[in-house]
């Protein structure tokens, strides 16, 4: 940036070699570029809950694309992009502050990196390849978003395609390529606007005729997506599924953290009373949220005898858990239903030493012993595990970022099997999977449950259990519910949700919220229940078959584009240097 405030393009050697899209932009005064960057941040924020202005998702990348187009991004501008990305994630993930301020800040520091990477890669490729923005922006942004949602355990919040959940006709396309497919759609829309901006500015670009052709193609694409959505929404669903009850809790995490048998009994009784009321509506399955049964409910623990322990507190804990299990089992037999409850599980080695602690979902049926539990696969970093256990000094340092402090290492063992449960009634059987906590916030766990087996879906429905009592803001709760709409359409299954603190209820296979537990008109931070018969969907989605293969392909394409662009820039630099030295030999 020179003293006059105009854009310095000399920092990009390939810029002067661009005959079309690279040189088409021309200098942007620095205040305009800064305003464009901030405009994208504002539009992205407004596209998500609690604002729900989903059309902005189709436009939000346009200002960011214009600001980065054609290169000219020196290190100072990359710092500006980073600070803008940092500010965006600090502003939007504020609901993490009550859980862990240190983790919230470090996570935002990391997530902000993706903004300058996008700006740099877009500036580089646009200045060398001369491709339309309607191609480069969606490919690069979707690839980076997928990496953000998977690398280092991933953070799948604020994936742009999720903002389209209220647009039911567009949402139906998620069963093809998942949320990344919807993000790609948003990128195409924004790229088309960037191309139109260049034509409007009278730059070289692709010319008016080229942009007219692009417009026809983009309109045709959106018309096809809309028609596909209408077709999917018009298809009849299959037979009605089981009648399910979900219990919604209002247990503050501070109460759970207080611990103690008296607290565990109080929480258990609260959910048990709600289950008694729900049983009057004759469900065949009642679900409780994650970890709402204190202690442990795995079979090895329940089969122990209090005399196996010398510690009085361990003996009291075992007796309590055995009573919890017996009460649930007797109630299940009396009312001919099953319980799905969230708890912890503990395993001992041959010498009687505890070796594993897991976050589990336990199914208690009217007959037979409890089924083997499902242990949560995807653990939350710094909440359920702390990395670098083999580097004690770093591990201890990172413990300060957890909600439990530097002296308490609450690390769990991840599950190894995608265990599915079966319930039956009146001669019918249904299979279901149980994403725990944030496993429903990312596509892979749900797909691992649903992916086809022997020509049919792996499960008939998903039963999501979560403890959102950590959060004091409704924003996180609304965003969490919205992501279940994506998962339901991606897999074409209904999702029942039992959430402590958040929205408990049912989402149909088309992404529509069918019913929520409520009390006095409120659906969050309430003790209530909801009962519904699940609408099953026999369709097997393409996404269930191929998963994130489409997004992974985009990552490979984006990497290839960047490598080619770097190569072209190096060649341009060498040619420029040769011309300065003297005539070529």
Task: Provide the percentage of residues in the chain whose pLDDT is more than 70.
Answer: 88
pLDDT digits (tens, 9 = 90+) for 497-530: 999 999 999 999 999 999 999 999 999 999 999 9
Give domain status of residue 10, yes or no.
Answer: no
Average pLDDT, the chain: 88
Average pLDDT over residues 369-380: 88
Lowest average pLDDT, out of 125-134, 195-204, 446-455, 572-581, goes to 572-581
575 is a domain residue? no
Residue 5 DSSP label: -
Q: 404 and 438 share a domain?
A: no
Burial level of 400, CB count in 10 A (0-12/13-18/19+)?
middle
Q: Which two tokens stand for residue 427?
A: 């001669």
299 with 192, same domain?
A: no
Q: What confidence tier does 284 reach under pLDDT thresholds 50, 70, 90?
A: very high
Paired residues of 436 in beta bridges:
465
DSSP 8-state assignment for residue 363:
E
Q: Do both 24 and 163 map to the same domain?
A: yes
In this prediction, residue 1 carries a pLDDT of 43
Q: What pLDDT score was predicted for residue 407?
A: 63
Element (DSSP H or E) covering residue 87: helix 75-92
Q: In terms of domains, do 423 and 472 share one?
A: yes
Please give the pLDDT value at position 26.
47
Asked whether the predicted pLDDT for residue 144 surpasses 60, the reply is yes
Band of residue 281 on the pLDDT scale cut at 50, 70, 90: very high
Return all residues near 20 (Cβ < 8 A) that are at least 6 apart: 130, 204, 205, 206
Bridge partners (DSSP) of residue 505 are: 497, 516
Q: Judge if 299 and 407 occupy the same domain.
A: no
Q: From the CA atom positions of the chain, what is the Rg in Å?
A: 27
Calculate mean pLDDT across residues 250-268.
88
Point out the least confidently predicted range of 254-258, 285-289, 357-361. 254-258
pLDDT band at 399 (very low <50, low <70, confident <90, very high): low
pLDDT of residue 3: 41
Catalogue the long-range contacts made by 511-514 (C-beta closer than 8 Å, 24 or more residues apart): 511/165, 511/168, 511/171, 511/172, 511/174, 511/485, 511/486, 512/168, 512/485, 513/481, 513/485
- Classify residue 264 by its DSSP letter: H
pTM score over 0.85: yes
574 assigned to some structural domain: no
Considering the domain architecture, whether residues 334 and 466 belong to the same structural domain is answered as yes
Based on the fold, state whether residues 316 and 168 are members of the same structural domain: no
Does the residue 155 lie in any domain?
A: yes
Beta bridge partners of 246: 287, 530
| 455/58: higher pLDDT | 58
Find out whether 536 and 460 touch, Cβ atoms under 8 Å. Answer: yes
Top mean pLDDT of 21-35, 131-145, 398-412 is at 131-145
Same domain? 367 vs 444: yes
Are 345 and 391 part of one and the same domain? no
Asked if residue 3 is part of any domain, the answer here is: no
What are 309-346's pLDDT values in tens digits? 888 999 999 999 999 999 999 999 999 999 999 999 99
Mean pLDDT value of segment 161-184: 98
Residue 577 lies in a domain: no
Going by C-alpha positions, the residue among 244, 156, 252 that lies closest to residue 467 is 252
| Alpha-carbon torsion (174, 175, 177, 179), positive or negative | positive
Indicate if the alpha-carbon torsion angle 69, 71, 72, 73 is positive or negative: positive
Taking the CA atoms of residue 332, residue 417, residue 317 and residue 319 in that order, the dihedral angle to the nearest 10 degrees is 40
Mean pLDDT, residues 86-105: 91
CA–CA gap between residue 277 and residue 227 (Å, rounded): 44
For the segment 547-566, the average pLDDT, to the nearest whole number, is 97
Question: Do 217 and 315 fall within a single domain?
Answer: no
Q: What range does the domain containing 404 cover? A: 379-413
For 267-408, where are the E strands, in sequence order? Answer: 285-287, 338-348, 354-364, 374-375
Q: How many domains does the chain have?
A: 3
pLDDT for position 473:
87
Whether 409 maps to a domain, the answer reads yes
31 and 118: one domain?
A: yes
Do residue 437 and residue 421 come from a single domain? yes
Q: Residue 199 belongs to what H/E stretch?
A: helix 174-200
**What contacts 273, CB < 8 A, 6 or more positions away?**
none
Do the domain assignments include residue 566?
A: no
Domain containing 267 — which CATH number? 3.60.110.10
Average pLDDT over residues 198-220: 86
pLDDT of residue 468: 93
How far is Cα 240 from Cα 496, in angstroms, rounded to an integer? 14
The arithmetic mean of pLDDT across residues 33-58, rounded, is 96
| Number of other residues whose CB lies within 10 A of the CB of residue 522 | 13
Higher pLDDT, 421 or 453: 421
pLDDT in tens, 402-449: 666 666 666 788 999 999 999 998 889 999 999 999 999 999 999 999
């Amino acid at each position: 940036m020179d003293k006059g405030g105009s854009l310095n393009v000399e920092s990009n050697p390939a810029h002067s070699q661009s005959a079309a899209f690279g040189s088409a932009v021309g200098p942007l005064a620095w205040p305009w570029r800064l305003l464009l960057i901030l405009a994208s941040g504002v539009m992205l924020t407004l596209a998500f809950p609690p604002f729900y202005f989903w059309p902005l998702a189709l436009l939000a990348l346009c200002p960011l694309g214009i600001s980065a187009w054609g290169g000219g991004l020196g290190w100072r501008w990359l710092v500006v992009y980073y600070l803008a990305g940092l500010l965006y994630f600090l502003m939007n993930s504020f609901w993490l502050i009550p859980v862990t301020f240190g983790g919230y800040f470090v996570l935002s520091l990391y997530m902000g990196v993706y903004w300058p990477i996008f700006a740099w890669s877009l500036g580089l490729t646009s200045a060398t390849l001369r491709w339309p923005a309607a191609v480069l922006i969606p490919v690069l942004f979707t690839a980076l978003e997928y990496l953000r949602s998977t690398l280092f355990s991933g953070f799948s919040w604020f994936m742009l395609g999720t903002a389209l959940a209220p647009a039911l006709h567009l949402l139906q396309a998620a069963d093809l390529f998942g949320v990344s497919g919807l993000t790609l759609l948003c990128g195409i829309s924004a790229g088309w606007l960037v191309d139109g901006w260049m034509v409007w500015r009278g730059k070289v670009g692709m010319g008016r005729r080229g942009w007219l052709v692009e417009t026809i193609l983009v309109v045709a694409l959106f018309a096809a997506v809309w028609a596909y959505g209408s077709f999917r929404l018009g298809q009849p669903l299959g037979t009605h599924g089981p009648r399910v009850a979900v219990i919604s809790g209002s247990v503050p995490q501070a109460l759970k953290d207080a611990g103690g048998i008296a607290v565990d009994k109080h929480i258990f009784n609260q959910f048990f009373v709600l289950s008694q009321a729900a049983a009057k509506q004759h469900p065949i399955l009642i679900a409780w949220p994650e970890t709402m049964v204190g202690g442990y409910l795995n079979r090895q623990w329940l089969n122990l005898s209090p005399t196996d322990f010398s510690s009085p507190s361990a003996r009291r804990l075992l007796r309590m858990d055995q009573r919890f299990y017996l009460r649930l089992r007797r109630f299940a037999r009396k009312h001919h239903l099953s319980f799905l409850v969230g708890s912890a599980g503990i395993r001992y080695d041959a010498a009687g030493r505890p070796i594993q602690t897991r976050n589990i979902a336990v199914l208690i049926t009217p007959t037979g012993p409890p089924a083997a539990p499902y242990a949560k696969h995807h653990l939350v970093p710094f909440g359920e595990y702390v990395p670098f256990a083999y580097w004690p000094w770093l591990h201890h340092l990172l413990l300060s970022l957890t909600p439990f402090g530097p002296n308490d290492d609450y690390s769990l063992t991840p599950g190894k099997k995608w265990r599915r449960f079966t319930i039956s009634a009146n001669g019918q059987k249904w299979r279901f999977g149980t994403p725990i906590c944030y496993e429903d916030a990312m596509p892979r766990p749900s797909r691992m449950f649903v992916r086809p087996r022997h020509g049919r879906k792996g499960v008939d429905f998903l039963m999501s259990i979560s403890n959102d009592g950590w959060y004091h803001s409704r924003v996180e709760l609304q965003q969490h519910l919205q992501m279940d709409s994506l998962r339901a359409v991606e897999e074409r299954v209904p999702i029942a949700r039992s959430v402590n603190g958040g929205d408990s209820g049912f989402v149909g296979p088309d992404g529509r919220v069918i019913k929520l537990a409520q009390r006095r008109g409120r659906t969050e931070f309430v003790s209530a229940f909801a009962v519904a018969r699940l609408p099953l969907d026999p369709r097997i989605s393409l996404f269930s078959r191929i998963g994130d293969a489409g997004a992974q392909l985009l990552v490979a394409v984006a990497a290839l584009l960047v490598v080619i662009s770097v190569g072209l820039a190096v060649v341009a630099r060498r040619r420029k240097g040769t011309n300065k030295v003297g005539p070529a030999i």
